[in-house]
Amino acid sequence: MRYALRMRLPPPPAGDRRLIQIVDSALVDVARRSGDRLVCRKGCTPCCIGVFAINQLDAARLQQGLAELEICDPARAAVVRARARESVARLSPSFPGDPATGLLDDPEGPRFSEFANDEICPALDPDEGTCDLYESRPITCRIFGPPVRVKDGMGVCELCYQGVSDEELPKYEMVPDPNGLESHLLKEVDEKTGRHGDTIISFCLVS
């Protein structure tokens, strides 16, 4: 597959491990503050349905995670890759970008907002309701659930914080990357690979 060869990325920069520690620590903190208002749990998979944009740092991390899975559990890795290939085959004809590279034209545009909203993530094990690449999952997956400040206000999972008013919601806000480390690392990836722009999980996992 032509796009598979062009999606191959080097491992994420060393600072990515620090980024993950920061983000995961922020999640632990907000989970402590939220108590049973944050209902995320094993087997809860609505956030695994519908595509979303991931950056080149996320893509490199996912590819590394799949490579590590191929060493420790090649059968499971083969299933993940097969699901990704099937997803790419379904999505390529209407992909809002270049299916040869997997890069999106405009992740915030109307074409992408209406694209593949029912597509199941290829990393999801549908029988167990768990992520086969959990330790390597994108930042979006790590912060989904708690209130996170976005351009239009406060984004939060619709299943969480039931009964909490809009005025009270900021009390549980998650600040995942307060010093902008992710942006710095993305520049590092860009300088090293010459590759920038967003993609989706299926395309990066077929490489």
* pLDDT at residue 7 in the model: 62
Residues of the chain with pLDDT under 50: 1-5
* pLDDT at residue 13 in the model: 94
- The 8-class DSSP code of residue 55 comes to -
C-alpha dihedral, 47 to 37 to 21 to 74, nearest 10° = -40
pLDDT in tens, 29-48: 999 999 999 999 889 999 99
**CB-based contact 138:12 (threshold 8 Å):** no
**CB-based contact 133:80 (threshold 8 Å):** yes
Helix (H) or strand (E) holding 153: strand 153-155
Closest CA to 204 of 17, 56, 11: 56
